[in-house]
Amino acid sequence: MMPNFGERLRSARKMAGMSLQELADRMDKPVSKQAISKYEQGKMQPDNPALLSLSSALGVRPDYFFREPSQLSAIEFRKLASLPEKERARIEARALDMLERYRELESCLGLDSSFIHPFPGAALSSFDDAGSYAEKLRDAWNLGIDPIPDVVEMLESYNVRVIMLDAPDRFDGLAAWSGNIPVIAFNQNRDVVRRRFTALHELAHLLFRCEAANPRENEKLAHAFAGTFLLPKESFLRAVGEKRTHFTERELLDMKEYFGISVQAIMARAKGLGVINEFSYKNFCIAWSKYRIDEPGEYRSKEEPARFRQLLDRAVSEEVITMSKAAELAGKSYNELSKEMSFIY
């Protein structure tokens, strides 16, 4: 038994959202919660029947317990105050599990997965900083000022690991580091426009220290970074002009569908650039509050992580790994993955 078995067991239990007692109750082989606690502390090790029962109850393969563990650090959650500690731990464990499988796949393919930080040590302390660094990052990554067709694809191309989770409504996203690897996770149950904005909001937390007076203001700085990144000043002023008093709904929805950013964020950007005044912005917020939950308009993009799947297909088709290993890394059964893959010779 590997020495990290207890740590792996604890992670699997958190990922499943179970207490020690709940896990004990779900096992086929009778094992007390005290015994499971000793497994996690490394004071005892399960025999093979108990190991298989733990795997079944937790919904993981036995191999999971012997994978080299990773760590997440500097974790930033959105809406942290409303997310219970147990659910937060579950989300962290699931993100970490996906990251470990991702890194193992990259290792099998011998890929360099390093990330080059464009602005090491940089900080955001004002909205001007947020806007300036958003446009500097576009320049550093040669993105120009046109709309970003797919934010997730763009982030993955720069070796940011993006993970999509089926999570409760109270979770928007998180940002973390695993060594020198940046990790972003977001809720797959959000619409495409919100996924884009959340991914860039989390990118701000990854790349910069937010040094506002309090956590709420730091979130606003990350919002400002995301808004500027999606809608650069030059593009925005070209679209709407220098000064406005009113907008039509059709005009705003056209912009949403072109730039992939919510109407609310478009108008916040207008206020931030002085295109509209505070009074006009407040009137907009009152009028638009009817769409607080379900805003009209859409942006046609997937905004789903694809790199892991692409690497998995590559590793299997080039016979770097077996189909069984691919199923383990994908977290799926052999038959399920076989049906998804179709080989062209």
Counts for the chain of helices (H) and strands (E), in that order: 16, 6
Give 319's contacts (C-beta < 8 A, 6+ positions apart). none
Query: Any idea where the domains of the chain sit in the sequence?
Result: 1-69, 123-291, 307-340
Q: Are 326 and 337 in contact (CB under 8 A)?
A: yes
pLDDT at 79 over 60: no
**Average pLDDT over every residue of 257-274:** 96
Give 129's contacts (C-beta < 8 A, 6+ positions apart). 123, 221
CATH class as words, domain 123-291: mainly alpha
Q: Are 236 and 206 in contact (CB under 8 A)?
A: no
Q: Which residues of 255-274 are buried (b: 16+ CB within 10 A; e: fewer)?
A: bbeebbbbbbbbbbbbbbbe
Architecture of the domain delimited by 1-69? Orthogonal Bundle (1.10)
pLDDT at 90 over 60: yes
Whole-number pLDDT of residue 285 = 94
**Average pLDDT over every residue of 133-154:** 96
Q: Are 219 and 130 in contact (CB under 8 A)?
A: no
Interatomic CA distance for residues 247 and 228, integer angstroms: 20
69 DSSP 8-state letter: P
Q: Which residue has the higher pLDDT, 76 or 299?
A: 299
pLDDT at 344 over 60: no
Interatomic CA distance for residues 149 and 96, integer angstroms: 28
Please tell me whether residue 47 adopts helix, strand or coil conformation. coil
CA atoms within 13 A on the CB side of 189: 8
Q: Which residue has 């650069």 as its token pair?
A: 232
pLDDT at 296 over 90: yes
